[in-house]
Copies of this chain bind each other. A is one copy, B any other.
């Protein structure tokens, strides 16, 4: 069972800067089984934030590598049958050794086969699920995801109920978008109650750069490796990505220079994550079960 404990209480801006400090200190090994389109971006993102990526998806070595890792990322952007087999083996290994794993259900919002794959992966209870609104809606049980290819035609607010429902199948749900919505459980007067964190900010260029979503999944995996609770890991990841995106936008003349400046900003050890969270984070308890 790989789902970690819920937060004792909702995370704060200080929780975020503390997680950032631990990430830089420990440099966790993040095992990625991810897609061909953005595999280079994912590796560079992990190196930029101070983690150590290892991309190993041969079925014969996936379990071995997962056992050595601080966290595992499973991103179904372009799977082959062999890679899917490797994903299942890696996930089984995380269960044996208690390593957290992140599911990024790319394309589940619009493409039938992707939804099928994502459902099979979800059955193994990821530590956290990160997707766009269409993907979360498609998996959370509504009839139609509202995706278009691998993109979402829906805002994150529309995925709120689906995310809430998915808490029965994973430790936390991050719905990335113009506004990020992070749903998990935290202690509320002795009961583990559903909680939503909303985060504004980031840059419109993120949607014009391939891999910004995949990179977020990887950042979330890196933070899951150094955080005890799911909600803290999700928040630190989304704050880190969004704060870096805002800084990058100031240096960008288009999506090409944005991607470069984003990596630079992600790597800045002095990026002020607590200050960003202070201004942009809204925390709200959701209706209980």
Residues of A within 8 A of B (CB): 29, 31, 35-41, 43-44, 47-48, 52-58, 60-61, 64-65, 68-69, 77-80, 82, 107, 110-114, 148-151, 207-211, 252-257, 259-268
Residue in contact with A37 in the complex, picked from B48, B55, B82, B112, CB distance below 8 Å? B55
B79 close to A55 (CB less than 8 A): no
Known: A38-B43, A254-B267. 19 other contacts (CB 8 A): A37-B40, A37-B43, A38-B40, A40-B210, A40-B211, A47-B208, A52-B148, A52-B151, A54-B107, A55-B78, A57-B78, A58-B78, A61-B111, A64-B112, A252-B264, A254-B268, A257-B263, A257-B264, A259-B260
B55 close to A77 (CB less than 8 A): yes
Chain B residue contacts of A267, Cβ below 8 A = 208, 254-256
User: For the complex, what is the distance from the CA of A69 to the CA of B61, rounded to whole Å?
Assistant: 32
Give the residue among A38, A61, A209, A256 with the most B Cβ atoms within 10 A. Answer: A256
Chain B residue contacts of A65, Cβ below 8 A = 111, 149
6 contacts between A and B (CB under 8 A): A40-B41, A44-B255, A55-B150, A56-B78, A253-B261, A255-B264
SS class of chain A's interface: helix, strand, loop or mixed? mixed
Chain B residue contacts of A80, Cβ below 8 A = 58, 82
Chain B residue contacts of A77, Cβ below 8 A = 55
B255 close to A257 (CB less than 8 A): no
User: For the complex, what is the distance from the CA of A64 to the CA of B55, rounded to whole Å?
Assistant: 29
A220 CB to nearest B CB, Å: 19
Residue in contact with A263 in the complex, picked from B53, B113, B255, CB distance below 8 Å? B255
Contacts A38-B40, A112-B64: A29 and B149 contacting too (C-beta < 8 A)? yes
User: For the complex, what is the distance from the CA of A44 to the CA of B57, rounded to whole Å?
Assistant: 24
Residue in contact with A264 in the complex, picked from B35, B79, B253, CB distance below 8 Å? B253
Contacts A41-B40, A55-B77: A208 and B48 contacting too (C-beta < 8 A)? yes
User: For the complex, what is the distance from the CA of A35 to the CA of B37, rounded to whole Å?
Assistant: 10
User: For the complex, what is the distance from the CA of A283 to the CA of B160, rounded to whole Å?
Assistant: 56
Chain B residue contacts of A148, Cβ below 8 A = 29, 52, 68
Contacts A43-B210, A254-B263, A263-B255: A36 and B55 contacting too (C-beta < 8 A)? yes
B79 close to A58 (CB less than 8 A): yes
